[in-house]
Chains A and B, each alone.
Chain A
Amino acid sequence: MARPVFGRASVTHLDRDRGLVEAARRDRQQFDALYRRYLAQVYNLAFYELSDHHAAEDATERTFLAALANLHRFEERARPADGEGASTFRVWLFRIARNMIANERREKRNHPAVAIEAAGTVPGTTNVEGGAVARDEAAAAWRAVAKLPADRRRAVVLRFVEEMSTAEIAGILGKSEGAVRVLIHRALKSLGRELEPKQ
């Protein structure tokens, strides 16, 4: 969806979440729709970053409370380059999440928790032996991702788990799209070295 903007040659794209954001600004109870839409995504990022369900829940809770309290500060900035269906609200929300997760990580550093629980989260299968292999492989992938430097790890999680575009990831991480592409490319190369069977 797009609308012409007078006085400019370009076309400004509407934010996919514009309707929900405007409804939530009029009546804050309507924030629930935005919450339901993005809860799982925010929680996913928090869980991959913090490797702990309770810490992920804390970070998710703080993220949505901060978003609700600061909704009046959100400015829609969708650009044509963001493509159809882009959501600058999602980028804004994930920037809050990134900060909350960073705070949670700092707290966790003082109180170290258990390792990532990947094995328990891989979807089940009727083939028990195959399921165990799948879980081992998934756990290995999670461990390899967890070992990446912070920016590469976030970029990989946002790209593969949240399936975000490079433009969205750039907005969340505060980097250029080119920098994000290079981050992901380098991350894939180092993950390949980690995950490929040794010759």
Chain B
Amino acid sequence: MTFPGRDPDVDALRTDRYLDSLLAAADRRAHDVPADAAIDEPLRRTAARLRRDLVRVHPSFRFEERLAARLAHEAAASQLAPAAGAEGSVAAIPITLDDEPAEEEGFRPLLIGGALTSAALSIAGAAYVAWRRARPSRLSRARAARQRDRSTAARAR
């Protein structure tokens, strides 16, 4: 009950202080606390009842662990993303090879400034091997190796 002429802000402030002490009392396992006489008795009863009846509910352990696993996965993914190239940049650098035509091989992408992950290395490695198999090298040592293979095969026949 608010008496006519009473400032609602002052009443609200008194209530707030009472709630502070009520909630602190719960930590001390005290059932009630001395209150400002200006606070209505019904309001004190309501506050005490809410303190008692609005219980905390804990999520299930299963949910907790499932979400923890998902967050860990998201955290790992977000840490890998920049390492795979987001922090670096792909720049085309002209490289002229001594025994290969410049118009075909002139530009090779390089990763600069970013940390290469093992995954990125594996993909790049697989791509390089596939490309290399499709295009035999014209370097003198490679030519000699191919020549040796061919002559070994001819002798075997």
Q: Does B3 sit within 8 A of A, measured CB to CB?
A: no
Pick the contact of A195: B40, B46, B76 (CB < 8 A).
B46
Count A-B pairs with CB separation below 8 Å. 122
Cβ distance A163 to chain B, nearest Cβ, rounded Å: 5
Chain B residue at smallest Cβ distance from A47: B57
Interface residues of A in 9-38 (CB under 8 A from B): 27-29, 31-32, 35-36
- Judge if A159 is at the interface, Cβ distance under 8 Å: yes
A102 within 8 A of B: no
Main secondary structure of the interface of B (DSSP, over half): helix
In the assembled complex, which residues on chain B have CB atoms less than 8 Å from the CB atom of A35?
67-68, 71
Partner-contacting stretch, out of A74-82, A85-93, A177-185 = A177-185
* Chain A residues positioned under 8 Å from B43 (CB to CB): 188-189, 192
Determine the main DSSP class of A at the interface with B. helix
Contacts of B45 in A (CB 8 A): 192, 196
A29 CA / B51 CA spacing, docked (Å)? 36
Among B47, B59, B72, max chain A CB count under 10 A is at B59
Distance of A188 Cα from B79 Cα, bound (Å):
47
Q: Are A64 and B67 in contact (CB under 8 A)?
A: yes
Interface size class, chain B: 35 or more
Contact B11 A185 (CB under 8 A): yes
Q: Write the residues of chain B forming the contact surface with A, with a CB cutoff of 8 angstroms.
A: 2, 8-9, 11-13, 15-16, 19-20, 23, 40, 42-43, 45-47, 49-51, 53-59, 63-64, 67-68, 70-72, 74-76, 78-79
* Chain A residues within 8 Å of B, Cβ to Cβ: 27-29, 31-32, 35-36, 39-40, 43-44, 47-48, 56-57, 60-61, 64-65, 68-69, 121-123, 137-138, 141-142, 145, 156-157, 159-161, 163, 165-166, 178, 181-182, 184-185, 188-189, 191-192, 195-196
Give 5 nearest A-B pairs by CB, closest first: A28-B75, A141-B53, A185-B12, A181-B12, A192-B46
